[in-house]
């Protein structure tokens, strides 16, 4: 079942945590906490939810300027996000963290799996997605 669009407070959160969207990732997509996820994992989950719900402005806002694309294309027609699994998360320092995850989707009858370790930095009190980490710099398990 596809989650309701942002603003439907009782809809389950796409990130997979047992909470309503408004009480989970939705609070970082809009309102006083917009863009203020407190940890790299919370930011990664809110970015996954933004991909599911096509909240492109949030994705761009939470992308580090050094890596941020000028625009994001809309999702391909028929793309369905199937779930998110956070494998591990941690910190490399007070303002740099990582999250290892698997995001599953389906497009054109084919299942897809994105496995990534993402790097995040905190600047001006806000966590930002920087990039996928190269295999040679994987964090310890």
The stretch 21-36 carries a mean pLDDT of 93
Domain 21-137 class in CATH: alpha beta
The 10s digit of each residue's pLDDT in 87-122 is 999 999 999 999 999 999 999 999 999 999 999 999
Residue-range domain boundaries for the chain: 21-137
pLDDT at 1 (0 to 100): 34
Residue-wise pLDDT for 30-87, tens only, equals 988 998 999 999 999 999 999 999 999 999 999 999 999 999 999 999 999 999 999 9
Residue 135: DSSP 8-state: G
Beta sheet of 80-93, edge-to-edge order: 80-93, 96-107, 110-123, 126-132
- Which two tokens mark 129? 């997605």
pLDDT score for 134: 77
């Amino acid at each position: 079942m596809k989650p309701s669009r942002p603003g439907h407070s009782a809809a389950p959160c796409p990130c997979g945590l047992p909470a309503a969207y408004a009480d989970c990732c939705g609070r970082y997509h809009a309102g006083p906490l917009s863009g203020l996820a407190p940890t790299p994992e919370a930011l990664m989950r809110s970015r996954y939810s933004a991909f599911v719900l096509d909240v492109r402005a949030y994705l761009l806002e939470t992308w580090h300027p050094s890596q941020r694309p000028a625009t994001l294309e809309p999702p391909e027609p028929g793309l369905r996000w199937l779930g998110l699994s956070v494998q591990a998360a941690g910190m490399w320092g007070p303002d740099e963290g990582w999250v290892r995850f698997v995001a599953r989707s389906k497009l054109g009858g084919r299942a897809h799996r994105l496995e990534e370790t993402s790097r995040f930095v905190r600047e001006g009190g806000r966590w930002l997605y920087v990039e996928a980490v190269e295999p040679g710099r994987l964090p310890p398990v």
